């Protein structure tokens, strides 16, 4: 199998290499990075309740994915998915902790 690596000949920094890798995978690279960051954050915040960890990790990933989507590195679906997850978790936390 032959790969076109002509985009790597002009790469002068790590940013150029990640841009090439992201374009070669049709934008999937940064999407998997965001999903990985989400799970790492959620499991590292497990000393708090699950809904609090889910809310804080989805909020952080929403902000980071919004910046990446604005820069053109990520599809707009990812910030919207993290926003929906954050909204549903905030609504759940509000309803449960209202007692």
pLDDT digits (tens, 9 = 90+) for 20-35: 888 888 878 898 999 9
Asked, for residue 6, whether it belongs to a domain, the answer is no
Q: Which domain holds residue 63?
A: 11-96
Asked, for residue 29, whether it belongs to a domain, the answer is yes
Asked, for residue 54, whether it belongs to a domain, the answer is yes
**Higher-confidence residue: 19 or 78?**
78
Asked, for residue 2, whether it belongs to a domain, the answer is no
Predicted confidence (pLDDT) at residue 15 exceeds the cutoff of 90: no
- Tally the domains of the chain: 1
- Cβ count within 10 A of residue 52: 14
| Three-state helix/strand/coil letters over 3-14 | CCCHHHCCCCCH
Asked, for residue 78, whether it belongs to a domain, the answer is yes
Asked, for residue 85, whether it belongs to a domain, the answer is yes
- Give the model confidence (pLDDT) of 39-84 as tens digits: 999 999 988 888 889 999 999 999 999 999 998 888 899 999 999 9
Asked, for residue 4, whether it belongs to a domain, the answer is no
């Amino acid at each position: 199998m032959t790969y076109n690596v002509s985009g790597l000949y002009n790469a002068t920094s790590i940013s150029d290499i990640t841009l090439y890798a992201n374009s070669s995978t049709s934008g999937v690279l940064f999407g998997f990075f965001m999903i990985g960051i989400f799970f790492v954050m959620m499991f590292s915040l497990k000393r708090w309740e699950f809904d609090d960890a889910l809310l804080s990790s989805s909020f952080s990933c929403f902000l980071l994915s919004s910046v990446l989507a604005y820069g053109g590195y990520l599809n707009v679906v990812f910030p919207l998915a993290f926003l929906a997850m954050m909204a549903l978790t905030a609504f759940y936390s509000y309803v449960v902790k209202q007692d």
